[in-house]
Amino acid sequence: MVRAVLVGCTALVLGVLLGRPALLLVGLPLLAWALTAVALRILQDREEGFPAPVLEPGLRTVEEGGTTALTLRTAPGALTAITVPMQPHTRFWPRYGSLAGDGTVRLRVTAERWGRVRVGPVHTLVTDPLGAFRAQAEVPAVTVRAVPSSSVLDAPVEVPTPIGVSGMHLSRRRGDGTALSEVREFRPGDRLHRINWRVTSRTGRLHTNATFTEQDTEVLIVTDTIADITPAPWAGDEAPSSLDMTVRATAAVARHYLTAGDRVTLFDLGHLIGPVPAGTGPRQLRVLTNALARAGREDGAMRLPRRLRSVRSGTLVVVCSPLLHKEAIAQIGVLISLGADVVVVDTLPPSIGDTAPLRGRPVRQEGISSDRFWPEAWAMRRLLRNSTVRELREAGVPVTTWEGPASLAPVLLSLSRARSAPRRRRS
Amino acid sequence: MALRTLIDPIAEPLLSLRQVSTTQWALRLTGLVGMVLALLATLPQGPFAGFPSVLLTLTLAVLTLLQMLRPDTGLGVAGPLLVVLVLAVQAELSLLRALTVGLALLLSHVGFSLAATLPAHGRFEPSARRLALRWLLPVLGVTVLGAAVVLTAAGTVLGAWMVVPGVLAVIALLVALLPRSR
């Protein structure tokens, strides 16, 4: 505005002083621009300024990879611009998070990774259509929660020892159920509709079908968030860290057993995810995934790990851990001694300790050799860890690496087979 | 390693150019084209005809380049003012050439004004483009009207006394149009 007025008026003054009408024509278009802007401001009653922009977030909770919208509204006829700072693991449309529109602007935000996504602070600029008069404001940031996508495990749901009351797992206890255990003589108290008339007519004595009961069970998921191990630099930006793998495995296991009607509870050895009490059904899945989404990476300071001191014997415990911290391994031992059926999901990023890039000389990353030998150190640490994994397997604890939904299927299948295997008393 | 040290400072700004949006390229190039047209109309003998022309061309080139990098810079007023001053000292200035320069300066000004509303990576939605173009029409209308008045009155000879009310009128216009802090 200042530019147009100064240049226009200068041309006008010179034209008047020098008596040259042609100079008036030089400044006339810019003055016309300025006059139109002022007239527009008066006509739209914006002499006191533009209305304050209103930011309306869309969905505050999305799934990992999901999209929500941020809508900024001012008034029709006002050129409205919104600019949002870029965030890691977040995609915007338009690509760099800055857009202008007529009165209303909608920005789309896609959360590429679970967790809390802080969008903002949002810088807004409202101007008239000619760009003459402007007002800027900063709107506080909006937090969007990306819950981990709970992938479907294509695996059986049988557990070794169901300990609940009523559910879908076949137990060894005889009672009211659907699976036939034996055909025996009728006893007082047996249900009449279970009488096996074929055997009765053959033997001449009342016989009844005895069945196994079906029970639900309690599944305890223990997460190890004591430390978040980032993947190796050569693994790429999209490679998950140990916390990512832990969260995704937890979400998948929780969904698997909640869908089967079991009770699922969560205990975190670190301090990132709050404890989640036992519950069932879709509501419990929402509670769990929301608790996982609330875990903040920035809370990753090392703190004293928590300890789980008691667990009901027969509980299926799924431990999601990178198996590096001795407290986590000690906790697995405690769970075994308490009589729980333990399965360990290894969430150490596969690129950590990978010996493939090692060539007997320092690994170069972006043309620079590190003099700290971190890849070699991690390779040796992984070799030490392998002995821990071997000891766990020898103790009867299945250990499987998390590589997506399919990776748990063999372990869960072996669990379902263990249901009918002879049981060994643990000392 | 030495080659990398030489190439990186050049490569990084070039790579950051990829982030400049199509909208900003269009607006800033509009501003540039307007200034180039204004320069060509101001110097009918050519931008490199003599030392003063070369000096004006280089000065305008630097100022316009700076304005392309920072559309909202205060230096943006210097280029058009320079053009007006050069036209004022020229002995011959036809009405048509003056109007051409005026319209070219308007084109440049519109491009840079709209470019200043967004960062370099910002985009205009179609609704924003329509809004801006729609309100340029009244500007052109007022320009045409004003030009008609000037052309009509151009032949009228007034006395030297007309300078005083003329200047006062311009000052009043300046005061009315300049933005005030509220």
Among B80, B163, B182, the residue with its CB nearest the CB of A17 is: B163
User: From the candidates B19, B94, B117, B182, which should be mutated to test the interface with A, based on the most A CB atoms within 10 A?
Assistant: B117
Residue A90: helix, strand or coil by DSSP? Answer: strand
For residue A132, what is the nearest residue in chain B, using CA coordinates?
Answer: B113
Chain B window 35-74: which residues touch A at a Cβ cutoff of 8 Å? none
Which stretches of A270-373 are DSSP H helices? 281-294, 326-337
Looking at the complex, report in whole angstroms how far the Cα of residue A319 sits from the nearest Cα belonging to chain B: 45
Q: Of A177, A225, A211, A206, give the one whose Cα is nearest residue A325.
A: A225
Contact assessment for residue B38 and residue B83, using Cβ atoms and an 8 Å cutoff? yes
Q: Which residue of A has its CA nearest to B147?
A: A25
- Closest CA of chain B from A239, distance in Å: 25
Torsion of CA A17, A21, A24, A25, to 10 degrees: -160
Contact A348, A377 (CB under 8 A): no
- What residues of A are in contact with residue B153 (Cβ under 8 Å)? 21
Instruction: Write down the pLDDT at residue A117.
Output: 86
Asked whether the beta carbons of residue A48 and residue B182 sit closer than 8 angstroms, the reply is yes
Contact A2/B77, CB-based, under 8 Å? yes
Nearest CA in chain A to B132: A129
pLDDT of B172 reads: 72
Which residues in chain A are closer than 8 Å to B177, comparing Cβ atoms?
A: 1, 5, 9, 31, 34-35, 38
Burial class from Cβ neighbours inside 10 Å (0-12, 13-18, 19+) for residue A75 reads middle
Which two three-digit tokens encode residue A382? 């992984």
The complex scores an ipTM of 0.86
Given a cut of 50, the residues of chain B with pLDDT beneath it are 182
pLDDT of residue B29: 94
**C-alpha distance from residue B48 to each of A423, B43, B56, B58 (Å):** 98, 9, 9, 10
Residues of chain B contacting A9 with CB distance shorter than 8 Å: 170, 173-174, 177
**pLDDT recorded at residue B38:** 93
Chain B residue nearest residue A76, CA to CA: B131
| Spatial CB neighbours of A258, under 8 Å, sequence gap ≥ 6 | A264, A280, A281, A282, A284, A285, A288
Q: Which residues of A touch B127 (CB under 8 A)?
A: 101-103
Per-residue pLDDT of chain A (427 residues; tens, 9 = 90+): 888 888 988 898 888 888 888 888 899 999 999 989 888 888 887 777 777 888 888 888 888 888 999 898 888 888 899 999 988 888 888 888 899 999 889 999 998 888 888 888 889 999 988 888 888 888 888 888 888 876 666 666 666 666 666 666 666 666 777 777 788 888 888 888 888 888 899 999 888 888 777 666 789 999 998 888 888 877 777 788 899 899 999 998 888 888 888 889 999 988 788 788 988 888 998 898 888 888 776 555 666 788 887 888 878 899 999 999 888 999 999 998 888 888 999 999 988 887 777 766 666 666 555 666 778 888 888 888 899 999 998 888 889 888 877 777 777 776 666 555 555 544 4
Contacts of B125 in chain A (CB under 8 A): 99-102, 105
Instruction: Report pLDDT for A307.
Output: 83
Residues in chain B within 8 Å Cβ distance of A7: 77, 80-81, 84, 105
Q: What is the pLDDT of residue A320?
A: 92
Is the separation of the CB atoms in A123 and A136 below 8 Å? yes
pLDDT at B109: 93
